[in-house]
Structure 1
Amino acid sequence: MTKEMDVTEKIIELLHELEHCTDSEQKQKIEEMNEIVDGMDEEEFESFFTLKLFNKTDKMIEEEKISMESVFLLLKSVGQHKVLMHSQSYAFHSSSLNKRFEQMIIEEEKKKEERNEKLLIDLCECTVLLSNEISSELLSIIVTCLLKVALKKDENEETQKEVEIALLALSYIEICKSVKQEWYLNEIKEIIKYHQEHHNLTHLAYQSAWQFLMNRFHFNKSLDEVIENELHFSRDATKELEALIKCVDWKRGKGEEKRKKKNKEELFLFRWLQTLGIFFFHWRLRNEECVGLISSVVQVFRASKDDNREISDKCIFCMGCAAENRVVENEDLLKIGAVDLILEEMQGPTLDNYFLERHMKCLFEDFRRLKNAEDYKNEEVKRKATKRKVFDKMEEEGFEDCIIGLCHYICLGEFRYFSLFENYPEYFVYL
């Protein structure tokens, strides 16, 4: 690649060259293309992930200038990158290639005994990984097909990769899609339980299994018994977060103008926090294991706050939801340092309105709970002691001055969710 040629131009050039290659040469060039895709940052990927790319690929298939094996090899790599970069591009969904794949899935499913299982799997994985929307007609076919792959238990590297791709694709099925329990529940429970005992999945595959289940939890609260009491989500998520915190090089690129390319550990950590966000948004029951999980979220925030804004924002969202849903006691929030952390951050010199809004919502929920004596009907002494600890901390940090200083912003309505702060004077009343 010449210095003048950017990565997008190089990919397009290689794609044109495929038309004149043998199958073995195509595979070699596609592996080169996949290496380029893997090294792309978000901006580069968005410029590459275009309708033109997919329509061009579809035309090459139509004219038999590229093998389906080569197509799948390229598209799976592109799709994995899209999911990990949480790209929202709809280019593939609008393409003629997507229409071709959807029709092929339907036709292959109808064959029953003569069905080409490998072809069906490849089609399902590419369709889900690349598209932001799956048709209801294909949903049961895709879920059943990919779970069959994900249930494989061999621990060799090839099988682990197959399982990882299948689970990654499943994790990307939209929250809004109504996936019937009989299609997936026994299978996903088996996958998670088997890993908890035998550790056969990669870290990404295991996170993806939980993400798929948590996406279903969004519209099916009856899964709470399975998620926490049977599969112990909080316990396992805590272990995964603590392991990832140690792996991420938080100071990587410090001093550079901008870090465009995230490392894999950061991407995995962000995906776990997305999963936690759904969990804490809907979870309503107190559980001792949740205390350890929130403590890990606090650790992630402290590690990421100066270096990765997306991750630190997700942490604040999780803590806010946990406080609002009363997942943990105020006393526990104090012990694990959640309240201290928010008080410290709200007085930071670079905190903008969006982040300030997030922090205030989280803290507001903590204070609102302190005011509500119903939580402490028989524990008045404990309630007063907890309130005194928070008051002392606020006094130490000069937090009352901080709130007073924000009044003119609130009155001017500069926050996007103005209604959240209508009762800002009650911050003082709660204490």
Structure 2
Amino acid sequence: MGPVVSKFINELSKKPRIERFSKLISGLRNFNKTDQKEIIKELESVMKAMDKNELKGALTVGVFEEIKRMIEDRKLGSDNDYLLMKCIGYWKAMKNIVICNFGKSSLCKRFELMIFEEMNKKEGKNEKRLIGLYESYYLLSDDSIHENLAPIITSCLLKVASDKEESPETEKEVEMALLALSEGSRGILVKGAQHLQEITRIIFHHNDHRNLTQLAFQCAWRFMINNWNSNSNSQIVVVKYMNFLTVVKRELEELAKCVDWKREDEEKENSLAEPKATQIIVRWLDVLGYFFIMCNKWDDDFYELVRFIVELFRTARDNEQEISEMCAHALKMLAHNENSSVDAFEKCGVLDVISEELQQLKLENRLASDCLSIYLQIVRRLSNNSGDETDEEKRKELKRKMFEKLEEEGLEDVITSFHETLEYNQSYYDHSLSLNIFDYFVNV
């Protein structure tokens, strides 16, 4: 590292991380190509150390506009444009951030133009640069993917992920391609069965050869679930043939073993970043939320997975807030699915963990909103008579247990304490929350 760039980086070392991020970006234009690579490395370490809210606050439209001006002024060295954007996109994805500021900025259109220009070169096309542009674009585009680019980029990145000799050298390339595909699948559904067939082949190949990293495997499944057809046949394939529920439980169990659940807040603050395992757990739970609201095909593995999520919820509540919030989010999606089993909430311990949470939550809190939403949805479903005699007996039994829990644990008073903040929670977190406090009570 040269003395000038070293001095520049050191001068910023004591500043708050968001300010350091912004000044490192704007300072890139003052250095040569080699020094810019050192600044990009420093940017990566800053983003790695940021928490989710810090990085979200740093990724402003203004930052993307500044990068666009540097590209147009030719102030970014060759390939440093996509390397910078891929670095930002990687950490945006790993912090599980959904933000539309890239799409709102003129950098998005500029990137699309750069992609088209590289694609249409008759001579001297740079495949490495093109793949880097593809990955950067997908990693950053939450809702702004050009419909003519989507099939081309998807096909190319699937090829990168599958047509590789299995070696440590290519493992990172495969992981990055699948991460980009999983992020891009937020913004546009793939057209054509061949893309889903290819991702299915990648998943089955991993089951046989264990050739993907834990993150890459999660990304392959995220791409699959975000693009699956919710018709009956597709659900049978995913649930029965591909054993999705069993796979998720296995992966979550393995990842949970890698997390130091007793880590103190001070230790977490002093570490460079939260462990990768916790980030992948959050990503799995995000996928499960979408799966739970869409699926209507359940088997015995479903109950085992829900039980594990309940236990993960309890384990994470003390010092892994994002994991506990994502557990609650996944369970909320399940509660909103009218096709989920009505007795699963009692049988798998959902009612117990929600009861525990409601008795210790702050009033204006996303977790409080999700727990109330789960509770409300269960009460609403129990208020409707079932046409099936067996289900009707289960409904009455669960209704009785919920009524007893209300009385024994004082939940009626706990829920009443949320009454004055229900409108706040409805406005900011969950519009489906009822403002009528009596809707939350069970009458037998």
Band the TM-score falls in, shorter-chain normalisation = 0.7 to 0.9
Secondary structure, aligned partner of 2:87: helix
Secondary structure, aligned partner of 1:286: coil
Quick check: 1:80–1:129 contact (8 Å CA) kept in 2?
yes
Give the one of 315, 336, 353 matched to 1:341.
353
Secondary structure, aligned partner of 2:434: helix
Distance 1:239 1:111 in 2: 46
Show the counterpart of 1:149. Answer: 160
The letter for the 2-side match of 1:76 is: K
Distance 1:326 1:228 in 2: 18
1:254-333 pair list within 5 angstroms: 254=265, 262-325=274-337, 329-333=341-345
Residues paired across the two proteins, number: 425
Report Cα offsets for 1:312-345 as digits up to 9, x if no partner.
Answer: 2322222233234356545443343211111222
Give the one of 21, 24, 45 matched to 1:11.
24
Mapped pair 1:85 → 2:95 = yes
Distance 2:210 2:300 in 1: 24
The letter for the 1-side match of 2:216 is: A
The alpha-carbon deviation at position 224 of structure 1 amounts to 1.8
Worse-superposed segment, 320-329 or 52-61: 52-61
1:31-430 pair list within 5 angstroms: 31-42=41-52, 44-46=54-56, 48-50=58-60, 53-54=63-64, 57-58=67-68, 61=71, 66-93=76-103, 97-110=107-120, 115-132=125-142, 133-173=144-184, 175-217=186-228, 223-254=234-265, 262-325=274-337, 329-348=341-360, 350-352=362-364, 354-370=366-382, 372=384, 374=386, 377-378=389-390, 386-403=398-415, 405-406=416-417, 409=420, 413=423, 415-416=425-426, 417=431, 420=434, 422=436, 424=438, 427-429=441-443
The letter for the 2-side match of 1:200 is: N
Change (3 A) 1:310 1:375: farther
Distance 2:413 2:45 in 1: 53
Change (3 A) 1:421 1:198: farther
The alpha-carbon deviation at position 273 of structure 1 amounts to 1.0
Secondary structure, aligned partner of 2:386: helix
The letter for the 2-side match of 1:250 is: W
Secondary structure, aligned partner of 1:311: helix
Quick check: 2:160–2:174 contact (8 Å CA) kept in 1?
yes
Change (3 A) 1:340 1:127: same
The letter for the 1-side match of 2:49 is: G
Worse-superposed segment, 380-389 or 348-357: 380-389
Report Cα offsets for 1:24-50 as digits up to 9, x if no partner.
Answer: x55455434433443334455356545
Distance 1:266 1:70 in 2: 30
The letter for the 1-side match of 2:240 is: N
Quick check: 1:18–1:29 contact (8 Å CA) kept in 2?
no
Distance 1:259 1:402 in 2: 36
Distance 1:81 1:73 in 2: 13
Quick check: 2:255–2:277 contact (8 Å CA) kept in 1?
yes
Report Cα offsets for 1:153-201 as digits up to 9, x if no partner.
Answer: 5332221111111111111125452321335111111111111221111
Quick check: 1:109–1:141 contact (8 Å CA) kept in 2?
no
The letter for the 2-side match of 1:123 is: L
The letter for the 1-side match of 2:356 is: E
Q: Which runs of 5+ in 1 are unaligned?
A: none
Worse-superposed segment, 313-322 or 28-37: 28-37
Report Cα offsets for 1:98-143 as digits up to 9, x if no partner.
Answer: 4343123224434589754323211101111133321112111111
TM-score by length of 1: 0.83
Show the counterpart of 2:5. Answer: none
Distance 2:374 2:40 in 1: 47
Change (3 A) 1:47 1:289: closer
Quick check: 2:179–2:216 contact (8 Å CA) kept in 1?
yes
Quick check: 2:83–2:132 contact (8 Å CA) kept in 1?
no
Quick check: 1:75–1:126 contact (8 Å CA) kept in 2?
yes
The letter for the 1-side match of 2:298 is: R
Distance 2:62 2:382 in 1: 57
TM-score by length of 2: 0.81
Quick check: 1:61–1:68 contact (8 Å CA) kept in 2?
no
Seq. identity, %: 36
Change (3 A) 1:284 1:69: same
Worse-superposed segment, 92-101 or 334-343: 92-101
Worse-superposed segment, 49-58 or 246-255: 49-58
